[in-house]
Every structure is written in structure tokens, then in C-alpha cells.
């Protein structure tokens, strides 16, 4: 059974059984053209490098973060 990659993109406006051919009701972080191979076959979304190099939790990885609290102090002029 051949299952082609949904190059038509995300079809979130209809039930799965009524969607257009070549689309999917569930896609995340993918695009139809693999930019590294320059082929229409599906590839990962770019931007997978770290934005910051600062380690905030010592030697431990942060897992399942749910909220971030910050404090902003207005500088005196």
C-alpha cells in the first residue's frame, strides 16, 4: 500500500474523511519540499538550532516547561 506525503498541506477546516486528496488533517513542523535534497518528498521545518547558548539549569536539561516568569525593572533615566 503506497501512502504519499501530503504535499497539499494542512486541511484543518473539514473532517478527515472529507479532506482534499494530497492533504492531511494533522501536520506539525514539516514542509512539502525537503530543502536539503531539493526534492518534493517532505522535510523538516528549518530553525532547529538553539536560539540561546546559556545553560539556565546547571547540568540538567529542562523538560516539560509550562510557564516562564520574568521581572522587568524600568531603568532610571
Q: Residue 5's closest CA among 28, 25, 32, 29?
A: 32
Predicted confidence at residue 47, as pLDDT, reads 67
Ordered by start, the domain boundaries in the chain are 1-45
Predicted confidence at residue 26, as pLDDT, reads 83
Q: Which residues of the chain have pLDDT under 50?
A: none
The number of helix segments (H) and strand segments (E) in the chain equals: 0, 2
Predicted confidence at residue 72, as pLDDT, reads 73
Predicted confidence at residue 53, as pLDDT, reads 74
Predicted confidence at residue 48, as pLDDT, reads 62
Amino acid at each position: 500500500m503506497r501512502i504519499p506525503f501530503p504535499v497539499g498541506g494542512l486541511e484543518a477546516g473539514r473532517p478527515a474523511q472529507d479532506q482534499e486528496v494530497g492533504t492531511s488533517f494533522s501536520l506539525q513542523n514539516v514542509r512539502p519540499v525537503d530543502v536539503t535534497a531539493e526534492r518534493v518528498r517532505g522535510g523538516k521545518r528549518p530553525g532547529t538550532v538553539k536560539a540561546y547558548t546559556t545553560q539556565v539549569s546547571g547540568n540538567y536539561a529542562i523538560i516539560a516547561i509550562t510557564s516562564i516568569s520574568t521581572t522587568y525593572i524600568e531603568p532610571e533615566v
